[in-house]
Amino acid sequence: MSEFKYGVFIPKIKQKFILNLLNNKKRVDNRDFIEYRKIKIKYGHIPNADGCAEVQLGNTIVIAGVKLDLTNPYPSEPDRGTLIVNAEFPPVASPDFEPGPPDENAIELARIIDRGLRKPEVVDFKKLCIVPGKKVYGLWIDIYALNHDGNLIDAAGIATMAALLTAKYTKVDVSPTGEIIRTNERLPLEVINFPVYITHVKIGEHLIIDPNLEEEMIADCKLTTIISNGNLIGGIQKSGSGALSIEDINQALENSLKIYPRIKEIITSSVK
Amino acid sequence: MKREIVLPSTLLETGDDLKPGLTTYKIGPNIFSGILGLYEKTNSKEINVIPLKGKYYPSIGDRVVGIVTKFQVFSWNVDINSFHEAILPFSNAIKKERQFYSDLNKLISINDVIYAEIISFDRFSPPTLSIKKKGLGKITEGYIYEMTPGKIPRLIGKNQSMINMIKQMLGIRIIVGKNGRVVALTQDFNKIEILGEVIQKIENESHVPGLTDRIKNLLESKLNKTS
Amino acid sequence: MSQFKRSDGRANDELRPIKAEMHVLKNADGSAYFEMGNTKVIAAVYGPREYYPKQLALPQESMVRVRYHMIPFSVKERKSPALTRREIEISKVIKEAFGGCIKKDLFPRSTIDVYIEVLNADGSTRVASINAVSLALVDAGIFLYDLVAAVSVGKIHDQLIVDLTGDEDQNSEADMPIAMMPSLNKILLLQMDGTLTVEEFNNLMKMGIQAIKKIYEIQKETIRSSLESVLKMYGQT
């Protein structure tokens, strides 16, 4: 399989250099170990989406779009709207990505984002019910990486929250005979919980936040923590084949709780 | 000497005796550009454009900085930022005859950086490298930069003037690969950052005259700040 | 003449506002963004690079591969992310359009891969894609005989119009995307869906070529300005 793949190579001298720097408490782009790259959020340029945001995290670019449309509820939850999170890593974003259906990494990312939105619920899914057992709103979130320079998960999390905060959907009325009529009224989606996705990587003995592509590629493993509403752990994912100590995990949680308000503030203040 | 920015289909010259090069094409007596680049009138009958973008086009005798991507049965595959991977046959890398295959992987392995010379290349076979000559071989330490291969001559300068000035002012050794890869042989982070800015400036402003002076000023101001 | 007026108030031969930018994605060898009104596309080019598997590479020239894709929220009703038959056909015609404009024999056995993502669709997405790809190829330093510029023309309520929006496309009697190399006067893509008289076809072709020349100038301006901003910094233009 590897014969047929294009890839990103991190030369050994660069690996050595990055590790050397970390040993001297420095990073290639002069960032602090628990400092994010510059975050830029762009809104409203995709009029066909019900909500949309494009996030730049350094050179990483991720776009998330929200659509709300009528659908059937799940039999187990007849009075609640549905949520589907889909993520794709299209080849525009990196020579590492191949055309075709989402691979395990894209699916993992979608499921991590999904996890943070379900418990605690990011919106009141009961409010998205129209006729119990018959019609509800389906909330679709599509996440596309446009340029991969590391830490797609956190960028996707920011883009998703920004898109949800600006999403508007068409109000429907139910006639006495049970018919569903679309109105011209657009309702804002009310976000009731605010997850932030924060990823650390472990390189050698060092734990750093928001890795760029080079750091991510040479890392032993990755730990994403989802912080909900400032003090709750809303989800965790460890990925990569290296190992973490309990101290690493506690350190990462402490960092994440510390950084949560800053990231949340960046997102909320960017919404006009 | 006037350098002009040209685009695909820009008319460069007219003349029945003129020949198109790798970057131009001819219709009737007219020679047009095929790429985005700089055109400068010369006495040559072959008309070419200096590329401002794009990958490296291999040429025999060029010295390049490669990254090893595969360990094969008879050779290493090496990425040289071109449209084909280059090949470094074991025989072009080792001097001793009695070498075991298992030793070779210790010598050079995937993700190693090598400084090599292109010893053969034609349209029917991939570029072949050698590291047998003096000054060539594996690079074990340093920082690697990338720039557009077409702009490497600007980094080197006339008679090496630019690169020598940079080496002298920074006080470090620098390896320049014709394929757009540059390696600073140092671990001094401050100097690595300054060289990064220099390379970025050449990348962005290679088409603007007076580059040497601007690079000199940049180096002076950066070095003063830190000393 | 009927009383037809375009919903956005444009004259029949008027293009929507165009925005173009080069080198918007850092990882690709070349990239560009192109916007015609609310139709917004991004294109990335990789290559020329090694073609895998090597035994299937063309011994005499580069392969050109194109994937045109619309992201699910680019259209009014969410689209499945999987490639549809429509997307596969459009990928093919775009690939063939650029097959006629890239000098392919410079890089035997290699491939040039073009990826297009439609971010927002409001008609004329394939021609906007072609305009973006053209700039992305220049950004990648690939040898082109000319830039390729493209526009859609069509007939609606018996009137001939240029640069159809999504609604106009839905209600049109005919629509016809055209792509060409303007300096060389060569047509690289031509499709027509609907019915036209020969006279209407000829008139549409004329209108299309005129519009293409305007787009061509915008493309050239985009490329120049990406370099000239630096020249201006030093007062040398």
Q: Are residues B147 and B221 in the same domain?
A: yes
Please give the C-alpha separations between residue A205 and each of A108, A150, A200, A236, C72, in angstroms, as whole numbers: 26, 20, 13, 21, 42
CA-wise closest residue to C205 among C164, C157, C139, C152: C152
Q: Are residues B170 and B190 in the same domain?
A: yes
For C25-38, write each residue's pLDDT tens digit: 999 999 999 999 99
- Taking an 8 Å cut-off on Cβ atoms, the answer to whether B112 and A12 are in contact is yes
Could you tell me what percent of chain A has a pLDDT over 70?
98
Closest CB from A11, A21, A24 relative to B144: A11
Q: Do residues B131 and B88 make contact, with C-beta atoms less than 8 angstroms apart?
A: yes
For A136-193, write each residue's pLDDT tens digit: 999 999 999 999 999 999 999 999 999 999 999 999 999 998 889 999 999 999 999 9
For C75-113, write each residue's pLDDT tens digit: 999 999 999 999 999 999 999 999 999 999 999 999 999
Q: Are residues B126 and B173 in the same domain?
A: no
Taking contacts as CB-CB distances below 8 angstroms, the residues of chain C near B35 are 138, 141-144
Q: Are residues B79 and B100 in the same domain?
A: yes
Q: Kindly list the partner chains of chain C, i.e. chains with 3 or more CB atom pairs below 8 Å.
A: A, B
How much is the pLDDT for A127? 95
What domains does chain A contain, in order, with CATH numbers? 12-270 (3.30.230.70)
Q: Are residues B197 and B212 in the same domain?
A: yes
How much is the pLDDT for C3? 66
Q: Kindly list the partner chains of chain B, i.e. chains with 3 or more CB atom pairs below 8 Å.
A: A, C
Q: Are residues B131 and B78 in the same domain?
A: yes
How much is the pLDDT for A7? 79
Q: What CATH number is attached to the domain comprising B25?
A: 2.40.50.100
How much is the pLDDT for A2? 41
Does B100 score more than 80 pLDDT? Answer: no
Does A103 score more than 70 pLDDT? Answer: yes
How much is the pLDDT for C8? 93
Number of domains making up chain B: 3
Q: Are residues B206 and B158 in the same domain?
A: yes
- The rounded mean pLDDT for chain B is 92
Taking contacts as CB-CB distances below 8 angstroms, the residues of chain A near C28 are 92, 95
Give dist(CA B163, CA B157) in Å, integer.
7
Please enumerate residues of A whose Cβ is less than 8 A from a Cβ of C: 3-6, 45-50, 52, 59, 61, 63, 65-67, 69, 86, 88, 90-95, 99, 101-102, 140, 142, 144, 146-149
For B103-144, write each residue's pLDDT tens digit: 788 889 999 999 999 999 998 889 999 999 999 999 999 999
Q: Are residues B108 and B170 in the same domain?
A: no
Domain boundary among B101, B117, B139: B139
Domain boundary among B72, B107, B139: B139
Taking contacts as CB-CB distances below 8 angstroms, the residues of chain B near A15 are 111
For residue A2, what is the nearest residue in chain B, using CA coordinates?
B70
Complex-level ipTM = 0.93
For B36-72, write each residue's pLDDT tens digit: 999 999 899 999 999 999 999 999 999 999 999 999 8
Give dist(CA A202, CA A19) in Å, integer.
11
**pLDDT per position in chain C (237 positions), as tens?**
556 789 999 999 999 999 999 999 999 999 999 999 999 999 999 999 999 888 889 999 999 999 999 999 999 999 999 999 999 999 999 999 999 999 999 999 999 999 999 999 999 999 999 999 999 999 999 999 999 999 999 999 999 999 999 999 999 999 999 999 999 999 999 999 999 999 999 999 999 999 999 999 999 999 998 887 666 655 544
Closest CB from C140, C183, C236 relative to B53: C140
For residue C147, what is the nearest residue in chain B, using CA coordinates?
B8
For A32-66, write each residue's pLDDT tens digit: 999 999 999 999 899 999 999 999 999 999 999 99
Residue B98 lies in a domain: yes
Instruction: Characterize B108-136 residue by residue with b for buried, 16 or more Cβ atoms within 10 angstroms of its Cβ, and e for exposed.
Output: beeebbbbbbbbebeeeebbbbbbeeeeb
Specify the amino acid at residue A105.
Answer: N
DSSP run (H or E) holding A226: strand A221-228
Give dist(CA A84, CA A107) in Å, integer.
12
Q: Are residues B105 and B147 in the same domain?
A: no
Q: Which of A55-59, B95-99, B156-160 has the lowest mean pLDDT?
A: B95-99
Residues forming beta bridges with residue C110, ordered by sequence position: C50
How much is the CA Rg of chain A, to the nearest whole Å? Answer: 20
Mean pLDDT score, A68-74: 95
Q: What CATH number is attached to the domain comprising B113?
A: 2.40.50.140
Mean pLDDT score, B140-169: 95
How much is the pLDDT for C237? 40
How much is the pLDDT for A62? 98
- Mutation pick from B4, B208, B215 vs chain C, by most beta carbons of C within 10 Å, is B208
Closest CB from A46, A102, A148 relative to C27: A148
Instruction: Count the residues in chain B.
Output: 227
How much is the pLDDT for A4? 56
Q: What CATH number is attached to the domain comprising B169?
A: 3.30.1370.10
Mean pLDDT score, A96-101: 92
Could you tell me what percent of chain B has a pLDDT over 70?
97
How much is the CA Rg of chain C, to the nearest whole Å? Answer: 18
Could you tell me what percent of chain A has a pLDDT over 90?
92
What domains does chain C contain, in order, with CATH numbers? 18-233 (3.30.230.70)
Residue B147 lies in a domain: yes
Taking contacts as CB-CB distances below 8 angstroms, the residues of chain C near B209 are 236
pLDDT band at A9 (very low <50, low <70, confident <90, very high): confident
- Taking an 8 Å cut-off on Cβ atoms, the answer to whether B79 and A9 are in contact is yes
Taking contacts as CB-CB distances below 8 angstroms, the residues of chain A near B114 are none
Q: Do residues C59 and C108 make contact, with C-beta atoms less than 8 angstroms apart?
A: yes
CA-wise closest residue to C154 among C211, C193, C98: C193
- The two beta strands, A135-147 and B181-185, are unpaired
How much is the pLDDT for A1? 33
Residue B19 lies in a domain: yes
- Mutation pick from C26, C64, C106 vs chain B, by most beta carbons of B within 10 Å, is C106
How much is the pLDDT for B98? 66
Establish if C115 touches chain A: CB-CB under 8 angstroms: yes
CA-wise closest residue to B105 among B72, B129, B140, B66: B72
Question: What range does the domain containing B12 cover?
Answer: 3-51
Q: Kindly list the partner chains of chain A, i.e. chains with 3 or more CB atom pairs below 8 Å.
A: B, C
For A120-150, write each residue's pLDDT tens digit: 899 999 999 999 999 999 999 999 999 999 9
Give dist(CA C104, CA C112) in Å, integer.
9
How much is the pLDDT for C77? 93
Specify the amino acid at residue A74.
Answer: Y
Give dist(CA A60, CA A224) in Å, integer.
17
